[in-house]
Amino acid sequence: MTDVPRLRPTLDEVAERAGVSRSAASRVLNNAPHVSAEKRAAVLRAIRELDYVPNTTARALATRQRGAVALVISGEAPSIFADPFFARVIVGASAALEEADLHLMLCLAASDRSRRRLAELLRARGVDGAVLMAVRENDPVLRIAREAEVPVVFGGRPAGFEAPWYVDVDNAGGARQATEHLLARGRRRVGMICGLPDTHASRARHRGYREALILAGLQPLPPEYGDFTEPSGATAMAALLERQPDMDGVFAANDNMAAGALRTLRGAGRAVPGDVAVVGFDDLDIAQIAEPSLTTVHQPIQALGNETARMLTGRIAGEEPSSLILPTHLVARAST
């Protein structure tokens, strides 16, 4: 009887034996930096135990890795760093990248100069991959993404662009649930404060609002638009009240704008929720400390960052992951 030759152990088996990610095992094998001493020792021990012999072609490819990925946010620094949404995204992404022993490089792509530098970075393979966030319709960053020489995934779908890989939340479903909640509270003249009209999230949330009202046999009101900031929500709420003084409910496309709406309503002498009930979207800290506390749609922001980073590391490893939609749910508080 002929002996069956023993299959050569794989790098995946080395990683499993060592209790580390495949990319971490690869970095140890190639003597790359940014690997802890503990992980390095575990991988080397697994290599000895399994008598692992590296594939020279794969090793040559692995040595080209930079050990870092770019988180690209298409926005201005003041608005980005003032919004706790992005802080949560970064926390989630960092946790996933740490598991893969990859560093996070934050890139703001709001100016022509910053976009040129980003294009050069991705063209020169200065990072192993990139996550793109807050991308708007016809954003110049989209062209950079198409021409990138490294894997790219999107955190949130961009408007007007079929992104092949993305992680998003159920924006339309969450908005529909928010509007249905207002209707269940007996509200019949429900307005909406939309976000930036050239973003997929804003369009999807407006669609969910309209669907809920139409299914209830009610006419959606023309929305007012803000830019996802508290002052813009205050301004939009004032415009809604001027146009529809008998409004008894409002859905704002994020918590910051909802907080602005609460301020305007208070200044106009409208009781919340007695006269006007208010629902936001995000479930940020501001929703809990608002006066009154804000009913809102919870979206898993940290998980959004985490899953997007995991998708990118999979693509870097040569995988073809499926795009992902994360669920949302309503959190009822005093504003309704």
**Per-residue pLDDT tens over the stretch 238-290:** 999 999 999 999 999 999 999 999 999 999 999 999 999 999 999 999 999 99
- Output 212 or 100, whichever has higher pLDDT: 212
pTM of the model: 0.81
Q: What are phi and psi of 167, to 5 degrees?
A: -125, 130
Same domain, 258 and 321: no
Q: Is residue 98 part of a domain?
A: yes
pLDDT at 27 over 80: no
Bridge partners (DSSP) of residue 167 are 155, 324
Contact in structure between 254 and 228 (CB atoms under 8 Å)? yes
- Least Cα distance to 91 among 309, 312, 293 occurs for 309
Q: Is 2 among the domain residues?
A: no
Using alpha carbons, select from 22, 3, 2, 4 the residue that is nearest to residue 12: 22
Confidence bin at 4 (pLDDT 50/70/90): very low
Positive/negative CA dihedral, 112, 114, 115, 121: positive
Tokens of 277: 């009930």
Closest CA to 279 of 264, 292, 266: 292
Structure tokens at 322: 């499926």
Same domain, residue pair 193 and 257: yes
pLDDT in the model for residue 137: 93
Token pair in block for residue 274: 């007695």
Q: For 292, list phi and psi in degrees, rounded to 5.
A: -75, 165
Q: Is the pLDDT of residue 1 over 60?
A: no
Q: What is the pLDDT of residue 320?
A: 85
Q: Tokens 């989630």 belong to which residue?
A: 92
Q: What is the mean pLDDT of residues 11-35?
A: 79
Q: Which two tokens stand for residue 118?
A: 């980003």
Burial label, 57 (beta-carbon count in 10 A; 0-12, 13-18, 19+): exposed
In a domain, 38, yes or no: yes
Question: Do residues 53 and 80 share a domain?
Answer: no
- Model pLDDT for residues 40-95, shown as the tens digit of each residue: 899 999 988 988 876 544 444 454 567 899 999 987 766 677 788 999 999 999 99
Instruction: Identify whether 335 is part of a domain.
Output: no
Task: Give me the number of domains the chain comprises.
Answer: 3
Q: Indicate which CATH number applies to the domain containing 193.
A: 3.40.50.2300
- pLDDT band for position 24 (50/70/90)? confident
The per-residue pLDDT for range 228-246, each reduced to its tens digit, is 999 999 999 999 999 999 9
Q: Which residues contact 120 (CB under 8 A, 6 or more apart)?
A: 126
Q: Which of 134, 142, 144 is nearest to 202 (CA)?
A: 134
Indicate whether 176 and 255 sit together in one domain: yes
pLDDT, tens digit (0-9, with 9 covering 90-100), for 103-161:
999 999 988 999 999 999 998 889 999 999 999 999 999 999 988 889 999 999 999 88
Within 8 A by CB and 6+ apart from 56, the residues are none
- Judge whether 285 and 178 are in contact, CB under 8 Å: no
148 and 89, same domain (yes or no): yes
The pair of structure tokens assigned to 74 is 């298409």
Strand 68-73 relative to strand 130-133, pairing: parallel
C-alpha distances (whole Å) from 20 to each of 26, 37, 277, 328 are: 10, 12, 50, 32
